[in-house]
Amino acid sequence: MNAILVLWWRELLRYTRSRAQIVASLGQPILYLLALGFGLGPIFKRAGAGSYLQFLAPGVIGMSVLFSSIFSGLGLLWDRQFGFLKETLVAPVPRIQIMIGRTLGGATVAVIQGLLVLVLALIFGFRPTNWLVLPLAVGFMILIAVLFAALGVAIGSGLQDMQGFQLIMNFLVMPIYFLSGAIFPLTGQGVVLTWITRFDPLSYGIDGMRNVLLGTAHAAFDPGVDFLVLVTVGAILLIFGAHRFSKIEI
Amino acid sequence: MIRVQNLVKTFGSFTAVNDISFDVAKGEIFAFLGPNGAGKTTTIKMLTTLLRPTSGSIELDDLNPLTHQNEARRRFGIVFQDPSLDQDLTARENMEVHGVLYHVPHKVRRERTEELLRLFELWERRDEQVKKFSGGMKRRLEIARGFLHTPRILFLDEPTLGLDPQSRNQLWTHVKKVNEIERVTVFLTTHYMDEADRVAHRIGVIDHGKLVAQGTPQEIKASTGTESLEDAFLKLTGSTIRDESANSVDQMRQFASMWRGGRR
C-alpha cells in the first residue's frame, strides 16, 4: 500500500464511520426534490417545459457531489485543527501524493453521495431515458467530484479558522450551486445570467448529466463541450491545489 | 547529525528565533529547554520542514531540509507537542497509516505495532476509535506511533506533557534503549528539568529566541553555580511567568470543543 492509497482509504473509513452525517446530508436533497421538484412541477409543466422533477434530479445530484467534494477539501481545516495534517506533512512522502490521496478520497466519497441521491431521485419518480447511460452519468459525477475536491484543497490550504469557512460557504459554494443551472434551464436567460452561468464549472457538470440521462434536447451545451470544460478546469484546479498544498506551513 | 547556524525566524515584527547556532552529534540526546514561548517549538518546526526559516542554515545528516525535503524527512521521526492523531480512526489504523507513510514494510509494521501498543498498554483497545481515548492514552498512542519506524533522528516536543509517572518512565526507558541500541540521535524539549538532567547528554537553554547556555548538565550547573538544573534554569531565564498568545489554531480548538459540546 502506498501513500496515495492509504490516504484515500482513510477518507473512506472516516466517511463510513460518520453514519449520522450521511443521513443528515441526504436531508437537503430530499427537501429540494420535494419542495422544488413537486412544488414547482405544475408551473413548469404549464410553461410547456415537461416534468420539473426530471429536469431537477441531475441538478440535485450535482449539488450533493459539489457540497460533499468541496467540503472534503475544506476538511483540511479540521485536520489542521486536530493536528493530523502535521502528521502527513512531515512524512517522507512528496506532498503531491498526499494531496492526490486526499483529493481522490474526497472525490470518491462525493460520488458515493451522488449515487445515494440518484437512488433517492429514482424513488421520487425520476427516470432516465435509457438505463444503459447510467455509467456515463457516473462519469460526469466523477469529473465534478475531482474538480471541486481539488478546489476545496486549494482553498483549504490557506484557511486558518472558521470565519473563513463561513465566507467560502456563502460567497463561493452557494453561488456555484444556485448559478449553475441546477434548478433552472440555462437556455433563454438574460445576458448577465447567461454569462455568469457560463463561468460556473458546475453548469457543465449538471448539463453533462442532463445530456446523458435525459437526452441532448434537455441540455444547453454539447456533451463533448461539457466533458472538455470539466477535464480542463479540473486539471487546472488539481495543479493549482497541489501547488497551494505544497506551500502549507504550520 | 544536526547542525544549525545563525537560524532566525520572524513572524511579522516578532522574532521567535533569534540567531541561534548549535550542533548535535550522532547518537547524542540533546535537550532543548526554555520557558513557554521561548522558541522551542518554532525551532523544531523549522528542523522538521514544517516552517521555512527566515534566514540561517540547517543540516540534518548533512542534508539541507529546505532543498532535500523528502530525503530529510526520511531521516527523522517526531512526536508533536499537540495532538496529531486522526480521532475517527482506531489506534491500530493510526499506526497503519503512519507505517505506510513512512515506508515501513507490511510485516514489520504488524510486528512493531503490536509490540509498541503492548509496551504503551494500548493493545487491549487497539480497535477503538481514538476519540474515545483519555488524554493520557492519546498521548501514549502518539508516542508509540513515533517509534513505529526507526528514524536516525527523533524529535520529541514535550513528549511527557500529560503523562503519568509510569508512562513517563516507560517513555524514557524506551528512548534510552533506541538511543543506545539503534544509535538514534534524540532532540527533545521538556519542562521537567529532572528528566532533562537524567536523560540528556547535552542541554541548550533558549529564552526570548536566543540560546543563552549550552553544555552538559554538569557544565550548566557549574557555570551558573547552582546545585540543580531547575535552579540553573531559573537563574538563566529569570522567574517571570511567560504567556504565549493564543494563535488561530488554539482559538479554533476552543471553538471546536465548544461546538462539539466539550467532548474532547
List the pLDDT tens digit at each of the 264 positions of chain B.
899 999 999 998 889 999 999 999 999 999 999 988 888 999 999 999 999 999 999 999 999 988 988 889 988 999 998 889 999 999 999 999 999 999 999 999 999 999 999 988 999 999 999 999 988 899 899 989 998 988 899 999 999 888 888 889 888 998 999 999 989 999 999 988 999 999 999 999 999 999 999 999 999 999 999 888 989 999 898 877 776 666 666 666 666 655 554 333
Instruction: Flag if A87 and B252 touch (Cβ within 8 Å).
Output: no
Nearest residue on chain A to B52, alpha-carbon basis: A249
pLDDT of residue B261: 45
Amino acid found at A14: R
A-interface mutation test, from B41, B84, B93, most A Cβ less than 10 A away: B84
Residues of B in contact with A17 (CB under 8 A): 88, 129
pTM: 0.87
Which grid cell sits at A14? 472516516
Question: Rounded to whole angstroms, how far apart are CA atoms B123 and B130?
Answer: 13
Q: Is the pLDDT of residue A82 over 90?
A: no
Strand order in the sheet with B202-207: B76-79, B153-157, B185-189, B29-33, B202-207, B210-215
pLDDT of residue B241: 77
CB A78 within 8 A of CB A11: no
List the single residue in B73, B87, B96 with the smallest CB-CB distance to A90. B73
- Helix ranges restricted to H, chain A: 3-17, 19-31, 41-46, 52-74, 76-82, 84-89, 95-124, 134-156, 162-168, 174-178, 191-198, 201-214, 223-246
Residue A146's nearest CA partner among A180, A172, A111, A114 is A111
- Which is it for strands B202-207 and B210-215: parallel, antiparallel or unpaired? antiparallel
Please tell me if residue B252 touches chain A, with a CB cutoff of 8 Å: yes
Measured between CA atoms, how close is A147 to chain B, in angstroms? 25
CB B160 within 8 A of CB B111: no
Residues of A in contact with B253 (CB under 8 A): 81
**ipTM, 2 decimals?**
0.87
pLDDT of residue B256: 61
Give residue for cell 547535552. B202
Measured between CA atoms, how close is A6 to chain B, in angstroms? 6
Residue A149's nearest CA partner among A111, A115, A106 is A106
The B residues from 18 to 47 touching A (CB cutoff 8 Å) are 45
Please tell me if residue B70 touches chain A, with a CB cutoff of 8 Å: yes
Please tell me if residue B246 touches chain A, with a CB cutoff of 8 Å: no
Q: What integer best gives the mean pLDDT of chain A?
A: 93
pLDDT of residue A135: 95
Instruction: Flag if B256 and A6 touch (Cβ within 8 Å).
Output: no
Helices vs. strands in chain B: H and E counts, helices first: 10, 9
Residue B143's nearest CA partner among B119, B123, B127 is B119
Nearest residue on chain B to A250, alpha-carbon basis: B50
Nearest residue on chain A to B252, alpha-carbon basis: A161
List the single residue in B50, B52, B84 with the smallest CB-CB distance to A84. B84
Give residue for cell 445576458. A191
Q: Which domains are seen in chain B, by residue range?
A: 2-260 (3.40.50.300)
Which grid cell sits at A109? 466519497
pLDDT of residue B262: 38
Instruction: Flag if A94 and B101 touch (Cβ within 8 Å).
Output: no
Question: Rounded to whole angstroms, how far apart are CA atoms A36 and A40?
Answer: 5
Residue B249's nearest CA partner among A116, A142, A75, A250 is A250
Residues of A in contact with B85 (CB under 8 A): 82-84, 87
Residues of A in contact with B103 (CB under 8 A): 92
Residue A65's nearest CA partner among A240, A211, A201, A236 is A201
Residue B143's nearest CA partner among B183, B87, B197, B98 is B98
